[in-house]
Amino acid sequence: MKNKLFLLILFLVCGCVAETPRYIGEQYLDAKYMFNPLGEEKAPDTDPLIRSDGFDCVTFVETSLAESNVEKLSKIRYKNNKVDFVYRNHFIESDWLKNNKSLVENVSNLYAKTAIRHVVIDKKSWFKRVHNIDTDFQKQTVDIEYIPYKNLSKIDIQSPLIVLFIHDGNGLQKKIGTDLAVVHVGFLLPGNILRHASSDYGRVMDTDFEAYVNKRRQNKHNLGIALVKIK
């Protein structure tokens, strides 16, 4: 009886130690990558308000933060929770970070020496060029603090962070009508793991963060990363 009790305790202890911690977004691992999978269920974007079968990099982060709750998700995706295509937080630099400041905070300067990327967001041009929608938005210049790749070393964290991948905007103006800094987003997890919706692999996946960074930094237009705390 004592031997059986000892084996049971040993099993429980070892099982707890060996168990992989459950981190944000884990339930969506291996879900397929889909370009622009969410919308307002009406024109001009008739996609659903929420789904769990497919994500792009932004909707994966948003849905994970919202814990699959459509009301929480709408608060994250839209300015003042107004569910409308025009009021969606389309640009992380000028919309998403600002309108979700109660939820997130850029903490890049806590992890390495930072730099500033000046971004000129031209929503009016983007809406017309990409969606053929006329708006009266004015150009907006915003600054985003980030860690240049040359300053980046191993990051030791205890809780997940949102990681933004920063680009110099080269070539984007002609393509989409506006400057752009953030070109990819995911979660940086303890253990140096990047959890993200990957267009290259067509699914939500975990990958080695350092290896992913080393691959991106080979392109001179990729500048670095911004680290964002989830409050």
Q: What is the distance between the alpha carbons of residues 170 and 8, in angstroms, rounded to a whole number?
A: 60
From the number of C-beta atoms within 10 Å of its C-beta (0-12, 13-18, 19+), residue 129 rates as middle
Residues 38-56: tens digit of each pLDDT: 999 999 999 999 999 999 9
Q: What is the distance between the alpha carbons of residues 113 and 109, in angstroms, rounded to a whole number?
A: 6
Measuring CA to CA, how many Å separate 207 from each of 74, 118, 189, 192? 29, 30, 10, 9
Q: Please say whether the beta carbons of 150 and 222 come within 8 A.
A: no
Q: Please say whether the beta carbons of 82 and 205 come within 8 A.
A: no
Structure tokens at 18: 């060996």
CATH class of 23-230: mainly beta
Q: Please say whether the beta carbons of 165 and 216 come within 8 A.
A: yes
Structure tokens at 40: 């307002």
pLDDT at 212 over 60: yes
Q: Tell me the domain boundaries of the chain.
A: 23-230
Complete DSSP assignment for 24-64: TTGGGTTPEE-SS----SBTTB-S-S--SSEE-HHHHHHHH
Residues 131-174: tens digit of each pLDDT: 999 999 999 999 999 999 999 998 999 999 999 999 999 999 88
Q: What percentage of the chain exceeds 70 in pLDDT?
A: 90
Please give the pLDDT value at position 12.
Answer: 43
Q: Please say whether the beta carbons of 45 and 36 come within 8 A.
A: yes
pLDDT at 193 over 70: yes
Identify the band that residue 130 occupies on the pLDDT scale cut at 50, 70 and 90: very high
Q: Average pLDDT of the chain?
A: 92
From the number of C-beta atoms within 10 Å of its C-beta (0-12, 13-18, 19+), residue 7 rates as exposed
Among 1-5, 90-94, 121-125, 197-201, where is mean pLDDT lowest?
1-5
Q: What is the mean pLDDT of residues 13-20?
A: 42
Q: What is the mean pLDDT of residues 90-112?
A: 97
Measuring CA to CA, how many Å separate 172 from each of 8, 25, 120, 133? 60, 30, 12, 19
Please give the pLDDT value at position 22.
Answer: 66
